[in-house]
Each structure stands twice: as C-alpha cells, then as structure tokens.
Amino acid sequence: MRSVTDPDHSIQLNEAIYCYEICTNDFAYNLIAVAFRKHLSLLLVGLPEESGEFGYTHLQDLDLGDKEQLCVSALAFSPDTSLNCTPNNVTLCAAIGNQLKLFRTDLAQYNTLQVLRGHADYVNDVSWVCEGELLASVSDDFTCRFWTTAGGGENVITFGLSSAGMSVKSHPEDPNKVLVAEKKGIIHLYNVTIKQTIISVESPKFPLMSADWAHSNRLFITSLAGGDVVTWDLNRPYVPADIKQVHEDCGRVVRFAPGSSEMVIAMVIGLTLKVFAAKSTVPLLEASLKSYGGMAWHQRLPYISAVSDRKLLFWKVQMK
C-alpha cells in the first residue's frame, strides 16, 4: 500500500485549468485537451515508460469564442481521433453552458467549429457512443440527447430523465448500450438501437455526482453519490455489490482504472484525490489539490492525473 502526497510528474501551465481530458484512442492515447477560460490547448505528453523521461509538447490552441462567459464543463475526443495518419485527425467536443462545440483539426491548417444547440440548461457530461456515430450529452434540463455530427448536426433522440443528467458513458465492447446517470441516484443502461432502458439501478443515497462503467468488466458500474462510492454487479443489480463511505460531503468524479484486472477506482472528494482497490478501504493513493478541474486515467499506463490550479499532476499507481 502506498500513500502519496506529491505527484510523480507535473505540467505547469500559464492559466487556471477548468477542465481537461486524456484521449483513450489507440492512435492518440497521449493526447490531452486542456480547457482554459477562453481557449483549449492540445498537448502531447510523454511518460518515462515510453520515452525515457517525462515531458510534453504544445500542439495547438483552439479559440472558444471571445464572448464566451461560461467555462467548459466536459470534453470528449471522438473515436476517430488519430495522430497516426496523414493528415492528423483530431475531433473534440466541448460542453459549454447549454451548447456543444465540436472542433475538428489536423493540427496544422485545417480547423472547423460546429455548434450543436438544443439543450435548455447546463450540460454536465458528453460522450461519443455507437462507435462514434452519435454524440450523447446529459444536462440539467432533465434530458439525455443523442446527436448526429455529420452535416449540420441533429438531435435525433431525446431520452427524458426525472432529474438532472450527470454522467453519460458508452462501452467499447457494447457500443449500442449507454450508461446514463441522474442526480437523484438512478442509473439507466439505455439501448440506443431500440430507444429503451434495459436495466436501471438506484443508489441508496443522493445527490449522484458521477458514474462510470468498468472497461475490464462491463457488468460492473460505480457511482459517487452522497459521499459514498456505490458499485453494482449487473448480474445481481438489485443490491449494490459494494458501498464504500468515503466522505460526508458530495464527491465530484469517480472513474475505474481502464487496464487493471483487479478493479481500481479513483475519485475526487472535495479537493482530495483518492484511489482504492475495489474491495479495500485503505487508499492506494491520497493527495490534496488546490482546485478542481477534472481527473482522468491514462489509457495504457497506470497513471492517474488531476488538475490543481494551473498544474496538471500525474501519479503512478502501484497496482497488482
């Protein structure tokens, strides 16, 4: 077991970070999008296991719009994002207020911006689903919306919720099924093809702030609700498989580690990052942050990252 305060690596940037995302695609897994007040920056990080030392390269800035007063609340890279082709192809969705802004760039001369409008309130999360054919978004307007992004972009399905939508996640093994989590504690598994919920689970506590789906075992989902991390095995969905009380206050985000055979879960509670093995109550890692601007796992290496004011911090997690 390892309790860590100091990160193993950090990237110092010039402005406060409001949101960020690490690409999970095979051909761009070291690509990071960082959202500041008025622009996005695309960075390419190098980790010691791959390049011998830690470092990063600034690739490009993307303007969010001079009149933008609201901060980016969520980011998602399209599955067709690749730095392994000529020209490069980066497609990125940023949720800002009640709009979705879709950026496409080759990191050189070609840049386009597409705006998707339809939500009536703040968008809390976005995710590419159905192998990238659709974009899903959840909002304080009590809807989950699915969008085509070809042509002008169209809201093709609207799934009504009974409270604010907080998280939406696709799963690579089952691309037509989407996890949709509501603030009052209900998590739906929604089948996009038949436009119906196929199973729902309910957290014993609320408000639910975040939910995730295990990549290593798609029968496991987890949520951060009312200060508890609640995990379900969908073979037995009616009773949670595990409830871990982590704090009296509400958390901000929870994520399964992508590559671990033993399920490892990271979360940010208040301004504290914690990482647990699924069945343990002793954290593998615990660290303080100066601000909250997101948290993400690296797709291939056992690193968890989080924002602290103007820094992007990386910790190596000792997993089995």
Taking only the tens place, the pLDDT of each residue in 96-152 is 999 999 999 999 888 899 999 999 999 999 999 999 999 999 999 999 999 998 888
Query: Which pLDDT value is given to residue 65?
Result: 77
CATH match of 9-316 with 3.90.1150.10: no
Is the pLDDT at 95 greater than 90? The verdict is yes
Predicted local distance difference test score (pLDDT) of residue 248: 65
pLDDT at 68 over 80: no
299: which 2 tokens?
């797709």
User: Please, which pLDDT band fits residue 1 given cuts at 50, 70 and 90?
Assistant: very low
| Per-residue model confidence (pLDDT) at position 209 | 95
SS3 assignment for the chain: CCCCCCCCEEEECCCCCCEEEECCCCCCCCEEEEECCCEEEEEEEECHHHHCCCEEEEEEEEECCCCCCCCEEEEEECCCCECCCCCCEEEEEEEECCEEEEEEECCCCCEEEEEEECCCCCEEEEEEEHHHCEEEEEECCCEEEEEECCCCCEEEEEEECCCCEEEEEECCCCCCEEEEEECCCEEEEEECCCCEEEEEEECCCCCEEEEEECCCCCCEEEEEECCEEEEEECCCCCCCCEEEECCCCCEEEEEECCCCCCCEEEEEECCEEEEEECCCCCCCEEEECCCCCCEEECCCCCEEEEEECCEEEEEECCCC
Average pLDDT of every residue of the chain: 91
95 compared with 218, residue with greater pLDDT: 95
Instruction: Give the model's pLDDT for residue 289.
Output: 93
pLDDT digits (tens, 9 = 90+) for 8-28: 999 999 999 999 999 999 999
Can you give the pTM of this predicted structure?
Answer: 0.94
The domain ranges of the chain are 9-316
Mean pLDDT of 280-299: 92
On the question of pLDDT at 72 being above 60, the answer is yes
- Average pLDDT (284-310) is 94
Residue 215 pLDDT > 50, yes or no?
Answer: yes
Q: How confident is the model at residue 67 (pLDDT cuts 50, 70, 90)?
A: low
pLDDT score for 231 = 92
